[in-house]
Every structure is written in structure tokens, then in C-alpha cells.
Amino acid sequence: MTGPHCYDPDDTLIGKLPLLESASTLTFGGIRRNNLFITKPAGDLYSIRGTFAGAKRTLPT
């Protein structure tokens, strides 16, 4: 099984999300950044709402 792995900033593995197929992209979204969106090469889109939030992205100035 493949899937995204989540790490702490100190490289400690927090958890894995097992997927039966490979994912083409994933991103966090929603107001609280607690929705994980995953796309697959066939064009499928999946969404998982979690009790966690994705990191806030800072854009270069």
C-alpha cells in the first residue's frame, strides 16, 4: 500500500494514510485547513476532514 506520510518538524513519523492506488496530488483546504484533498491519476477526487490542520504556506515576497 502506498500513501502520504506525515512527519513532525524533527522528522519523527506521526502517521500514514494508506491508499490502495497512488495519489497524483494532495493539499489541505477549507477555512481551518483541516480538509485533506487527494486526487488520483484517473481524475478521482477524495476529501477527508480531520482533527488536524495542514501547515500554513507562506509565499515568498
DSSP assignment string, 4-43 = -EEE-TTS-EEEE--BSS--SEEEEESTTS-EEEEE-TTS
Q: Is residue 28 part of a domain?
A: yes
Structural domain contains residue 61? no
**pTM for the full model?**
0.68
Q: What is the number of domains present in the chain?
A: 1
Residue 13 inside a domain? The answer is: no
pLDDT above 70 as % of the chain: 98
Q: Of the spans 17-21, 52-56, 57-61, which averages the highest pLDDT?
A: 17-21
Do the domain assignments include residue 16?
A: no
The predicted structure's pLDDT at residue 1: 63
- The string of pLDDT tens digits covering residues 13-40 is 988 888 888 888 888 888 888 998 999 8
Domain that holds residue 27: 1-8+21-53
Mean per-residue pLDDT of the chain: 84
Name 56's Cβ contacts closer than 8 Å, sequence gap at least 6. 33
CA–CA dist 1, 44 (Å, integer)? 18
